[in-house]
Amino acid sequence: MSGGTEQGAGTVPVGDTGAVTVPVGDTGAVTVPVGDARGVTVRVPAKVNVQLAVGAARPDGFHDLANVFLAVSLFDEVTATPAETLTITCEGPDADKVPLDRTNLAARAAELLAARHGISPDVHLHIAKDIPVAGGMAGGSADGAGALLACDALWGLNTPRADLLEICAELGSDVPFSLVGGAALGTGRGERLTELAVGGTFHWVFAVADGGLSTPAVYGEFDRLTEGVEVPEPAASPVLLDALRTGDTTALAGALANDLQAAALSLRPSLTATLTAGAEAGALAALVSGSGPTTAFLVKDAETAESVAATLIASGTCRTARAATSPAAGATVLAD
């Protein structure tokens, strides 16, 4: 499930200089510049849902989920720089499809953080995209989490981690995980996280389709396809959680599951050919990533990942294919 909208360029104002020590997770801190011409840059990962169990629609329109997130090594970078008003620019693949107004989760993150501290959200946010836009890999959610952490550092706020996670949950279901990274089980609508242990490195290939898929449209199709059917309460697979904990790629391949896959394929039948091409190229498992249309292929090692990616590109069933590993760290302030 992709938890929000995705985010083209402008002049970056120059402010005063200084420094602030910003907590990173629960274990350390990094000193970053505050208010200089370079601003503060945060790197934030994409995600793959290794399990996405979806319950029936709730009265509020959301669905209860058992959503096992795994952060992967495809990253956006969000840079916050002092400005006279809130502005957004974007570069990278499909940057023209990224909204540059206040519907962008990065802008909303700056506004919510500023409101919590009683200040004005005067900041320029520049997004360097590498996560596929509207691809089911939480690129918009990543940008929201990245902007939140970057603004917190730039403004010297030192907001407690628990408060940052509350703001993330207000922004969207996937945003808290973008801040946390690693691996986690998301319950509720996906925003309540329990961090999970991962015992090794997993290798992936992600095939990027032409165009995007609307997350609400995919959930709407799920509701249509399950109308009149008793939808079970979502629950995490013990086999899958154990495969993550032990780093067992073969066991993980056998446990991958996405309850939204049928809905995504109903709206975009051409993705079936991509899934087939990747499986025939040697992937251990293939599935639609979240709400799609990006497709994910678990492979045994880095060499196989490069081979499967090349085969997928040559097949003509996707626009491009990218190799990546997991787990990856969550939103991280980059040192100069």
Catalytic residues: 47, 174
CA distance 241 to 256: 10
Amino acid at 147: A
* Residue given tokens 């029936």 in the structure block: 56
First-residue to last-residue Cα distance in the chain: 33
Find the angle CA(91)-CA(170)-CA(101) to the nearest 5 degrees.
35
In contact, 161 and 125? CB cutoff 8 Å: no
Helix (H, G, I), strand (E, B) or coil at 303: helix
Rg (CA), the chain: 19
CA distance 100 to 109: 13
* Residue given tokens 């509701």 in the structure block: 223
The number of beta carbons lying within 10 Å of the beta carbon of residue 196 is 18
- Report residue 151 as tokens: 């603004």
Helix (H, G, I), strand (E, B) or coil at 72: strand
In contact, 207 and 297? CB cutoff 8 Å: yes
CA distance 66 to 260: 12
CA distance 319 to 268: 15
CA distance 297 to 15: 45
The alpha carbon of 157 is separated from its chain's Cα centroid by a whole number of angstroms, namely 25
Reduced DSSP (H G I as helix, E B as strand, rest coil) percent helix, strand, coil of the chain, to 5 = 30, 30, 40
* Residue given tokens 């492979």 in the structure block: 299
Containing 81, the helix (H) or strand (E) segment is strand 63-82
The number of beta carbons lying within 10 Å of the beta carbon of residue 303 is 11
